[in-house]
């Protein structure tokens, strides 16, 4: 049976996007609705795939094109390229997913030296006919014959200069005839052939060029960036040309059924009399509003409004519509569900619910976590025209303005006196945390989206630009340089974490009303909001609350401080999935860690650890208090000890200089010896996590005792603490068994001493491939698993996260090895398969095992859908990602339910 490669517009519908592409499917749908669509046919994406595989068109395609073309000619009552009254057609690409400007379009196919004269006569407009012909030759030469567009553009400018005009539409018919001759000469010189005079040859070559355009470099690059599969192919849409440049009774325009910028209901769009579609978007001429169209052509306006209403009702969404008026007849050329701003997305979704066009479930599926992210972060005023001095990596969204400082100490000091500061660093480390907290924004000249600065900034909701390599940071001079620009300490700078741009001076910032709503609640935020903002607050609130009702995943937060925990609860967190304890050992407490390392006896070490216990206990008390009634999962100390000690190289230099001066400090020598003793070539795979707890007696015991005591304190106050202890970097069930036994013994001691019952679950992070593969054995001694997907990604791929992104991630993304960084979105095929394995084996061994994720992926929209699919109980993310996780968890539940329903139909 012969393959059907072509569908007439009447044969398709909007659900055939895989086969007919988005544009073709919508043209077919509008035809079925009885709208005035120029007749035409669609060559399928399957034909494109066959063409690309064979290197030629399928054998049957030529015959099927003939049959479809004859049917089109019958409908138009014209013949392609006829010398007296020619049918002209457009040949346009149209993939399943919109790829604007990435593939090819050829207009006015069918014109030649004879038919141009017939077109001039039938239209009674010689200039129009010759302009259409020169446009065809120009498009054909550039698109089909791969001639540089600049060659045609240069010739056009030459003709305009000769005619003493500045705009294309001012050229006379004679000038355009001259231009046509010049264009044909370009074809001959550059391609070695004459411009084809046979209309069918033009059509066939144009169809092939659209197929070929699927694999142009720009199309492949766009697909990589937008994560569109390479194997989809493009459809080809062949349609009868209609013209908006036939005089004042003709025109062309674009309209929207609602305002795509704000979501407001109404009629929005642009119109140009006596113009073609490209004139509207090129900006050559000032457009009119649709209100002007109502004055010029009231009947056309009324018909257009009727079409807009019909399409929005049919698609149940904002529609973007392209139309042409040819001699007072309206033609609808294209429609699609319109793109919109994040604010408009939420408003329109709720409007359509209130208009009973969609359900709340559908409204939830119409918005995304990425859109909510954009609504949460402050932004620079859109009217800003200042040029950036540098562009780095957009590491953490938002807009920040402050005075440049070059050390965390100064950042903290200046903030205390009321200054807003931007912290400039070559790169950050845990010691910079105080300055990062104090600063309104962070800029580093090294690192990428997963560097320390980026990860911490996103966790805190701080604006950050990383990897701005053109900026040189000089700590000695307390300044930064970028080309001819010098930034001194105290100079005002502005950074845009959404674009990576860095500006000199202060750029006006627009604050986010959505964050105020999340912090203060709906009622309080609406009181200070404008009418439009109040409408946005109401829309976001309704959709978030509905998502909370629909989601199965619980949403916890990663929080190490009372302040972070408070913020997370305000944003809707249902507990803490990761309370890191390493940050509690920084600052003045580092000296105690040094005492632990330098201890020459168990007694000295225990004394040092004992000094930390009351401090740790107070840290936990504050966090348990704000999260009362919600689970708090405390991870015991994870990083290697070197992170809490002076840098080995710096300390070595310091001691050497002191020796030269004859002022050697024995304590420094002892510290150097200790640092040298524990120095590791690859510390992230060395003595850390559970290994550290086993190697340094009393370290984990101190933390467990502080946790249990803080819990007992809360119980004595009549509170309801729910505490879990998480052991990091477990690779063997015996590691967990030994650590758990020690922890349980300490918990029993505290129970006895305080005369309380402490129910504390003990589990582990799954962050090593071996842990995932042996999850069944580990589950036998664990109450819960929490997937540490940051380290699991590193150890699965063999990556050092802080190194590889700057080294070769850009190349991997460019070549399509990655479609997105595996540190941003879970690598479902690799890392994800380990997660699936651990879930299945863990639950098989321990049906009561509860499962979560606490890596950065816990706040990534796409990853959340994966975690729902594999059956986790919760995700945990930074406080500022909690609303995004709440939204996406609801969307994931609905998407999964919809997929399951469709599979059973």
Give the active site residues. Answer: 452, 854
Tokens of 431: 């010691």
Secondary structure (3-state) at 560: coil
Tokens of 715: 């119980």
One DSSP character per residue, 70-88 reads: HHHHHHHT-EET-SSSEE-
What are the backbone angles phi and psi of residue 573, rounded to the nearest 5°?
A: -65, 145
Give the C-alpha separation, 622 to 602, whole Å.
31
Q: CA distances (Å), 376 to each of 498, 519, 532, 661, in order? A: 12, 11, 16, 55
One DSSP character per residue, 749-816 reads: HHHHHHT----EEEEEEE-SHHHHHTHHHHHTT-SEEEE-HHHHHHHHHT--HHHHIIIIIHHHHHTT
One DSSP character per residue, 342-383 reads: HHHHHHHHHHHHHTTSS-HHHHHHHS-HHHHHHHHS-EE-TT
Q: Which residues of 132-151 are buried (b: 16+ CB within 10 A; e: fewer)?
A: bbbbbbbbbbbbbbebeeeb
Going through 636-740 in order, the beta strands assigned E by DSSP cover 722-727
Residue 614: exposure state from Cβ atoms within 10 A (0-12, 13-18, ≥19): exposed
Do residues 257 and 275 lie in contact, with contact meaning Cβ atoms separated by under 8 Å? no
512 secondary structure, DSSP code: P
User: H or E element: which one contains 485?
Assistant: strand 485-488
Do residues 203 and 106 lie in contact, with contact meaning Cβ atoms separated by under 8 Å? no
Angle at 546 between CA 542 and CA 547, to 5 degrees: 120
Secondary structure (3-state) at 163: helix
Secondary structure (3-state) at 294: helix
C-alpha count within 13 angstroms, C-beta hemisphere, residue 793: 22
């Amino acid at each position: 049976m012969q393959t059907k490669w072509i569908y007439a517009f009447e044969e398709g519908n909007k659900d055939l996007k895989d086969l007919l592409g988005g544009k073709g499917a919508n043209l077919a749908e509008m035809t079925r609705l009885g709208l005035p669509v120029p007749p035409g046919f669609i060559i399928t994406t399957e034909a494109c795939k066959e063409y690309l595989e064979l290197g030629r068109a399928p054998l049957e395609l030529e015959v099927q094109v003939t049959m479809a073309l004859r049917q089109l000619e019958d409908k138009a009552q014209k013949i392609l390229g006829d010398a007296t009254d020619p049918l002209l057609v457009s040949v346009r690409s149209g993939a399943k997913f919109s790829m604007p400007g990435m593939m090819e379009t050829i207009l006015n196919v069918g014109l030649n030296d004879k038919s141009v004269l017939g077109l001039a006569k039938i239209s009674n407009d010689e200039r129009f006919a010759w302009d259409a012909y020169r446009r065809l030759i120009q498009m054909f030469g550039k698109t089909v014959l791969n001639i540089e567009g600049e060659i045609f553009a240069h010739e056009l400018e030459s003709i305009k200069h000769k005619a003493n005009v500045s705009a294309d539409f001012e050229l006379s018919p004679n000038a355009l005839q001259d231009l046509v001759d010049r264009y044909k000469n370009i074809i001959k010189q550059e391609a070695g052939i004459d411009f084809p005079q046979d209309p069918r040859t033009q059509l066939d070559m144009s169809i092939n060029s659209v197929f070929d355009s699927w694999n142009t470099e720009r199309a492949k690059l766009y697909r990589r960036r937008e994560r569109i599969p390479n194997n989809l192919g493009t459809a080809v849409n062949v349609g009868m040309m209609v013209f908006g440049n036939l005089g004042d009774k003709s025109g062309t325009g674009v309209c929207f059924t609602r305002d795509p910028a704000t979501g407001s209901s109404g009629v929005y769009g642009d119109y140009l009399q006596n113009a073609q579609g490209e004139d509207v978007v090129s900006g050559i001429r000032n457009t009119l509003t649709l209100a002007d169209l109502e004055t010029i052509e009231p009947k056309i306006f009324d018909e257009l409004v009727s079409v807009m209403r019909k399409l929005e009702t049919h698609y149940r969404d904002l529609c973007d519509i392209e139309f042409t008026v040819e001699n007072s007849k309206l033609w609808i050329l294209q429609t699609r569900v319109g793109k919109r701003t994040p604010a408009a997305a939420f408003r329109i979704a709720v409007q359509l619910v209130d208009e009973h066009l969609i359900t709340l479930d559908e409204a939830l599926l119409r918005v995304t976590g990425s859109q909510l992210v954009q609504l949460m972060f402050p932004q620079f005023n859109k009217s800003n025209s200042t040029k950036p001095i540098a562009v780095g990596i957009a590491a953490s969204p938002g807009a920040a303005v402050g005075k440049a400082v070059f050390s965390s100490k100064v950042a903290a000091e200046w903030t205390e006196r009321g200054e807003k500061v931007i912290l400039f660093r070559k790169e950050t480390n845990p010691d910079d945390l105080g300055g990062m907290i104090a600063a309104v924004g962070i800029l580093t000249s090294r690192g990428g989206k997963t560097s320390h600065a980026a990860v911490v900034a996103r966790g805190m909701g701080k604006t950050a630009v990383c990897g701005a390599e053109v900026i040189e940071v000089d700590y000695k001079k307390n300044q930064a340089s970028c080309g001819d620009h010098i930034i001194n300490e105290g100079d005002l700078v502005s950074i845009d974490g959404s674009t990576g741009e860095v500006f000199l001076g202060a750029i006006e910032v627009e604050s986010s009303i959505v964050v105020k709503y999340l912090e203060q609640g709906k009622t309080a935020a609406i009181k200070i909001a404008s009418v439009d903002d109040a409408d946005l607050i109401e829309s976001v609130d309704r959709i978030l609350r509905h998502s909370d009702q629909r989601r199965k995943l619980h949403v916890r937060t990663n929080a190490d401080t009372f302040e972070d925990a408070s913020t997370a609860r305000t944003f809707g967190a249902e507990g803490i999935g990761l309370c890191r304890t390493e940050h509690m050992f920084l600052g003045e407490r580092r000296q105690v860690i040094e005492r632990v390392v330098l201890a020459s006896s168990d007694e000295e070490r225990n004394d040092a650890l004992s000094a930390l216990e009351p401090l740790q206990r107070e840290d936990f008390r504050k966090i348990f208090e704000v999260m009362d009634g919600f689970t708090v999962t405390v991870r015991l100390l994870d990083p290697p000890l070197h992170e809490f000690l002076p840098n080995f190289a710096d300390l070595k230099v310091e001691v050497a200089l002191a020796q030269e001066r004859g002022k050697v400090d024995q304590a420094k020598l002892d510290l150097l010896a200790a640092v040298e003793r524990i120095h590791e070539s690859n510390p992230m795979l060395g003595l850390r996590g559970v290994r550290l707890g086993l190697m340094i007696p009393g370290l984990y015991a101190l933390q467990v005792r502080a946790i249990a005591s803080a819990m007992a304190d809360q119980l004595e106050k009549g509170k309801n603490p729910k505490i879990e202890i998480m052991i990091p970097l477990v690779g063997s069930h015996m590691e967990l068994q030994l650590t758990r036994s020690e922890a349980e013994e300490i918990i029993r001691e505290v129970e006895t001493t305080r005369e309380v019952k402490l129910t504390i679950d003990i589990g582990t992070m799954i962050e090593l491939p071996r842990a995932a593969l042996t999850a069944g054995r580990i589950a036998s001694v664990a109450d819960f698993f929490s997937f540490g997907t940051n380290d699991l990604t590193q150890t699965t791929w063999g990556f050092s996260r802080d190194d590889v992104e700057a080294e070769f991630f850009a190349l991997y993304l460019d070549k399509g090895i990655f479609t997105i960084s595996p540190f941003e979105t879970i690598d479902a095929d690799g890392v994800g398969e380990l997660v699936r394995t651990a879930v299945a084996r863990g639950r098989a061994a321990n049906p009561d095992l509860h499962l979560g994720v606490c890596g950065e992926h816990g706040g990534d929209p796409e990853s959340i859908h994966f975690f729902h699919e594999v059956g986790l109980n919760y995700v945990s993310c930074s406080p500022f990602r909690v609303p995004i996780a709440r939204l996406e968890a609801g969307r994931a539940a609905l998407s999964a339910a919809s997929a399951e329903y469709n599979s059973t139909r």
